[in-house]
Chain A
Amino acid sequence: MSQTDQYEAVASGSKSEIASFEDTRKGFVGRFHHALHTTPALVPLIVLVAAIIIFGLLLGSKFFSPFALTLILQQVQIVGIVAAAQSLVILTAGIDLSVGAIAVISSVVMGQFTFRYGLPVEISIACGLAFGTAIGALNGWLVAAMKLPPFIVTLGMWQIVLASNFLYSANETIRSQDIAANAPLLQLLGAKFKIGGAVFTVGVIFMLCLVLILAYVLRHTAWGRHVYAVGDDPEAAELSGVNVKGTLISVYAIAGLICAFAGWALIGRIGSVSPTSGQLLNIESITAVVIGGISLFGGRGSILGTFFGALIVGVFTLGLRLLGADAQWTFLLIGALIIAAVAVDQWIRKVAA
């Protein structure tokens, strides 16, 4: 015992040095790595700006104009909204394959409740939003309470919701003219307005507000911190006092609500209510999230990154089309970007560089 006391006594002689920890990762790479670690949206932002510059140089004012740049916003608005929902889910280390199906069935509910049952359009829209939220909450309950893997739950839900969508709507499209004449509120998010050469839609503004609100909530509220903690390590979160189950269910429910809004925006974009629309939204939203630098392992990344990810896809799509390239080039490049983004994520996660 006396021996023990001696070595500790020696150590306690130098108390003042305890506090320091040095940053051993010096140099540019180290600092860049650190910056990425603290600001994960940086990579997609750099890629986005670079892509805009490159296409701007290649195409000149055909691309680098308020009209073309806001056209990109219009083209990505639906995916952008759905990708925001997808981001929340993926931050909890989950995945939601049913996002597109929820968006479509919500739009069908909004349309059919108005035209089939003659409900006031405001009520129908509220019903559509509530319906999307309910499906999301059911997803969340199956994941959180029944402890089923999110991939399986939402794979099943995708099929169920899509089939219900076709059965309920009888595969019937509500025509754009009928909506414009009888229930224009359904097309609200498609309404356009101009500022100079720039063309915006209500849906674009909605997407921008949604991204900003979610960025605030995730960063500056307890709930947002809990979303990250649950995605990071659910057991640790539970032990340190987070209501893991409640957080998960609320995340999936809010994702469902956001998808229902995307369904509403979808009516605005295509004009009609079509049960066959939005089929690729799940894959496209996951693409935006991954390119945006959110880790599929959960707990890392930011909603702004997803927004940049969606824009990157939009810039590539429009830029390559204006260049007259085969559309397959877009898919090829997006595919390469996905793989590159995951590689960067792995690098960022390596803390001890």
Chain B
Amino acid sequence: MEPILKARGLVKRYGKVTALDHCDFDLMPGEILAVIGDNGAGKSSLIKAVSGAVTPDEGTVTLEGQEVRFSSPIEAREAGIETVYQTLAMSPALSIADNMFMGRELRRPGWRGRYLRQLDRPAMEKFARDKLTELGLMTIQNINQAVETLSGGQRQGVAVARAAAFGSKVIILDEPTAALGVKESRKVLELIQDVKSRGIPIILISHNMPHVFELADRIHVHRLGKRLCVIDPKDYTMSDAVAFMTGAKEAPQAA
């Protein structure tokens, strides 16, 4: 089977820091691929490079067999790659609905949309409300609340709901449960399963080994800016995985 999203020899330098050092990456259709690694290993840089948020200095990214060169996250999004960045990428002073539709706002049908370019607030609010209700995160009256008035977990919930609602080919989640409570984490994990059952592959970056081992079909172990190995969670324990990513243990050969 061909990978749906593939990267070869990615290099990204920030001044003297090499965040990605000839890194390879493969995401298979329909799978949940976990990416694990120490802080600073370059996980976020990797997903930024495949989602258009940064332009790699070297290397290629291939989506469904076609080489792509995203110069902005907008282009990646148009190609069907939706990302929840670690920083969440939300405008705190704007409402939940505004944030969910940022950069892809709906306009009113008819002349008010065409000539006055008026936003279709009711439609956007309804959509946002539905998506958040699916995730079990919000009560209805809160959809016009500014994002800054939400808790960290709720913000993360909104960001995940946004990605799940719009992603058509690949969904990337950079530590989506880091700020979440137990219940909210559980909801996000269910949502990830849900997205997978729709046939959309997911890249999940997480430090939470139980979550990773519960969800992932394969685990990409990232170390010092490159892929150290890819392991099957059924063949290894969580301690093995942690040992690989910290360098305490030699990586298995069959990568």
Contact = CB atoms under 8 A, between A and B. Distances in A.
B123 interface: no
A178 interface: no
A243 interface: yes
B199 interface: no
Interface stretch (B26-34, B60-68, B69-77): B69-77
A225 B105 contact: yes
Given A19-B138, A21-B154, A225-B102, A232 B119 contact: no
A214 to B, nearest CB: 13
B139 to A, nearest CB: 4
B139 A21 contact: yes
Contact of B117 (A19, A38, A221, A241): A221
B156 interface: no
A220 interface: yes
A11 B92 contact: no
B117 A11 contact: no
A170 interface: no
B187 A18 contact: yes
A229 interface: yes
Contacts of B138: 19
A240 interface: yes
A351 interface: yes
- Interface extent on A, as a size class? 35 or more
Interface in B100-136: 102-105, 107, 116-119, 121, 136
A7 to B, nearest CB: 6
Interface in B70-96: 72-74, 77, 83, 85, 87-94
A228 interface: yes
Contacts of B186: 8, 11-12
A237 B119 CA distance: 18
Interface in A208-222: 216, 220-222
Contacts of A328: none
A261 to B, nearest CB: 21
Contacts of B238: 1
Interface residues of B, number: 47
Contacts of B4: none
Among B83, B88, B183, B238, the one with the most A-chain Cβ atoms within 10 Å of its Cβ is B183
A18 B188 CA distance: 13
Interface in B197-228: 210, 213
A240 B89 contact: yes
Among B117, B142, B146, the one with the most A-chain Cβ atoms within 10 Å of its Cβ is B117
B99 A240 contact: yes
A223 B102 contact: no
Given A221-B119, A222-B117, A237 B92 contact: no
A38 B89 CA distance: 21
Interface in A8-39: 8, 11-12, 14-15, 18-21, 37-38
B103 A242 contact: yes
Interface in A297-335: 299-300
A232 B151 CA distance: 18
A20 B184 CA distance: 12
A19 B140 CA distance: 9
A220 B118 contact: yes
A181 interface: no
B156 to A, nearest CB: 14
Nearest to A242: B103
B58 interface: no
B187 A241 contact: no
A236 interface: yes
Nearest to B73: A239
Contact of A232 (B88, B94, B139, B183): B94
Contacts of A8: 182, 185-186
B157 to A, nearest CB: 10
Given A18-B136, A18-B187, A232 B103 contact: no
A233 interface: yes
22 contacts: A8-B186, A15-B136, A18-B136, A18-B137, A18-B184, A21-B139, A221-B118, A223-B117, A225-B98, A232-B92, A233-B92, A236-B90, A236-B91, A237-B91, A238-B72, A239-B73, A240-B99, A240-B102, A240-B103, A241-B74, A241-B104, A351-B149
Interface of A: 1, 4, 7-8, 11-12, 14-15, 18-21, 37-38, 216, 220-223, 225-226, 228-229, 232-233, 235-243, 299-300, 351
Given A222-B105, A243-B72, 13 more contacts: A11-B186, A19-B138, A21-B150, A222-B117, A232-B94, A233-B92, A236-B87, A237-B89, A239-B73, A240-B103, A241-B102, A299-B93, A300-B93
Closest 7 CB pairs of A and B: A241-B103, A239-B89, A222-B105, A229-B91, A232-B91, A236-B89, A240-B102
Interface of B: 53, 72-74, 77, 83, 85, 87-94, 98-99, 102-105, 107, 116-119, 121, 136-139, 142, 146, 148-151, 154, 182-187, 210, 213, 238
